[in-house]
Chain A
Amino acid sequence: MSQLTTEQAQVLHQANVAYAAGNEEEGVRLMKQIPLQPELARDAKEIFGAEFLLESGFDLSEAEREYGKNWLAS
């Protein structure tokens, strides 16, 4: 389990506030700034495909660190 930095935790909080206010678009935008958990990224690749994941705009840095640079291609 990777721990969020203080800045990332603040972004998560802002996303929560946006969702609670009914502003899902803003919530999704903010969630894309927080690295996707490697396991979730791996599962999303498996289920939705690598191309979807690449185009989704989520931060895949943790997954890349965990599985290597070419993890989406393999």
Chain B
Amino acid sequence: MEKTGLRVRLLARIAGDWRNREQVEQTAASLEQEAGHEATYKLFKEIGKTVDIPLLIASEELAVLRERDLFGKRDSSVLSSLNAAVADFAVMKSSLQTATVPEHYQQAATTYHSKKKAHGVPADGFHEAINSHITRLGNRMSAVGISVPEKNILRQRQANMRLAKELYIDLQRNALGLEAPAKGKGLQL
């Protein structure tokens, strides 16, 4: 075996991994999975057309919980990131609950640091949690080896989170009695 040399052994393995991947990609199950991802992407896109923050958050939370069940068991190294995501959803839901009742939110807003603002509203726990999650989704999108349909789903999920943040800021403005910015100076999220 030594005579064969590490370079030859490495080339054989890289060729083998590549060929195996090609073979798997051509199986009926793989093609069906790809079609399934396409359908999932379209559904997330449809959800992204709603202005329903609880639905936007719930759909993302469900996707993350499914990933934790599926990948967390196989690979413990991804568990901490997925657990952090789950904790972020708890913060988002709690903030959302407060922001939907103006009196509650006004009271809560007195506890936020006046310098921590985003788009003229308090950069509260919701902002921190959703920003973390948007970054998390972005990091996953740049992972090597991810399929195009999977990347499309992640991109749409990220767009949905940006929309949820935009809608939440509207809720904050409403709760605090603030004017929406003039048209043309819209949110840069």
Interface size grouping (class) on chain A: 20 to 34
Bound-state Cα–Cα, A36 to B15, Å: 7
Bound-state Cα–Cα, A21 to B23, Å: 21
* Interface residue? A3 (CB, 8 A): yes
**Residues on the A chain within 8 Å of B26, using CB:** 3
* Interface residue? A61 (CB, 8 A): no
Residue total for B at the interface (Cβ-Cβ under 8 A)? 16
Residue of A nearest to B1 (CB): A25
Residue of A nearest to B7 (CB): A48
The minimal Cβ–Cβ distance linking B140 to chain A, given in whole angstroms, is: 25
Segment 1-30 of B: residues with Cβ below 8 Å from A? 1, 4, 7-9, 11-12, 14-16, 18-20, 22-23, 26
Task: Decide: B16 and A19 in contact? CB cutoff 8 A.
Answer: yes
- Give A residues with C-beta under 8 Å from B: 1, 3-4, 9, 12, 15-16, 19, 24-25, 27-28, 31-32, 34, 36-37, 40, 44, 48, 52, 56-58
